[in-house]
Amino acid sequence: MERFTTIVERTRAQFGEWSLYVIAIIILLFIFFIAGGGISQNHRWEIETVRVKGANAVSEDAIREKVVEKLQGNYFFVYARKNSNLYPRKEIQEVLLDTFPRLVSVETFRIDAHTVTVNVSERKPHDIWCGNEFKNDKAILDNCWFLDTTGFVFDRAPTFSSGVYQEVYGKLAQKDEQTPLRGMLPADLFSYTDTLSQMLRSEVGEPLRVEIKEDKQFEITMRLSTAYPFLSGVIIRCKDENDLVTLVKNLRAAIAAQFPENVALRKKLLYIDMRFGNKIFFGFENS
């Protein structure tokens, strides 16, 4: 019994010593933590200048204002966020991309103890999105939004005359409730129609309008064609099952066969339907 009591007392003594060690370590860590925070507040490393590079359409002052907001306050109530060695790079990148949809990338760099630079890249207008479906053939477009090369809606477009940018119509996904901003056309469908538009522009004529329909069907309205002037205003119908190289090749062959050179059209051509494999149908005005 006495032996057992001795073991218990020794164990208690050892745990008491370990408790003292743990407490001492905690106190030291706390002191270092507070001391480090005090050092971080030194004006020697305080950010005084924020430079912005790469902004054109987005205001440099607006970007700088958001950055300065993120530099206010402290981490854990102690460490200065404005310290040039500790400033929140990732938070700055995230808030700028979230606030300005036109920005496609953001990078920050520490230049010296008092200066950081924010490099931004902006999206470039590729097309304009003008609604879920085409309704009216208007000469002036006053309610459209800029699309980038991926089909992402990043800014409201000013009023344009029809033909300045290619118009795209189709249902958006992932958009805000009150605005098309940050919406995106289905990636696969937009990529298909965008590639087809580029091929037509290179080999046939300039498209005016792209309509993404239900069941992955498309209508492309031609604006003009130097090689085939009668294609102006003509609608080309297709679906994404068509191989694009074959589609354009078949289109050119069908046009050459249907409209020999130096032969005037008796009726206005309205559409070319290419949704049925190798069969191509030409629709003409009745009158």
The CATH code of the domain that includes 240 is 3.40.50
Q: Which of 122, 138, 165 is the last residue of a domain?
A: 122
Do 107 and 155 fall into the same domain? no
Do 273 and 135 fall into the same domain? yes
State yes or no: pLDDT of 280 exceeds 90.
yes
Do 139 and 260 fall into the same domain? yes
State yes or no: pLDDT of 211 exceeds 70.
yes
How large is the average pLDDT for residues 213-239? Answer: 94
Transcribe the chain into DSSP letters: -HHHHHHHHHHHHHHHHHHHHHHHHHHHHHHHHHHHHHHHT-GGGB--EEEEES-SSS-HHHHHHHHHHHTSSEETTTEETTBTTT--HHHHHHHHHHH-TTEEEEEEEEEETTEEEEEEEE----EEE--SS-----SEE-S-EEE-TTSBEEEE---EETTSS-EEE---BS--SS-STT-B--HHHHHHHHHHHHHHHHHT-EEEEEEE-GGGEEEEEEEE-SS-GGGTTPEEEEETTS-HHHHHHHHHHHHHHHS-TT---SS-EEEEEEEETTEEEEEE---
What's the pTM? Answer: 0.81
Domains: count for the chain: 2
For residue 104, the enclosing domain spans: 44-122
The more confident residue out of 21 and 85 is 85
Give the confidence band of 89 by pLDDT, cuts at 50, 70, 90: very high
Is residue 249 in a domain? yes
State yes or no: pLDDT of 149 exceeds 50.
yes
Express each pLDDT in 105-127 by its tens digit.
999 999 999 999 999 999 999 99
Give the confidence band of 36 by pLDDT, cuts at 50, 70, 90: very low
Q: Which of 122, 143, 171 is the last residue of a domain?
A: 122
How large is the average pLDDT for residues 226-248? Answer: 92
Is residue 166 in a domain? yes
Is residue 8 in a domain? no
State yes or no: pLDDT of 37 exceeds 50.
no
State yes or no: pLDDT of 35 exceeds 50.
no
Query: Can you give the pLDDT at residue 268?
Result: 92
The CATH code of the domain that includes 78 is 3.10.20.310
Q: Which of 67, 96, 122 is the last residue of a domain?
A: 122
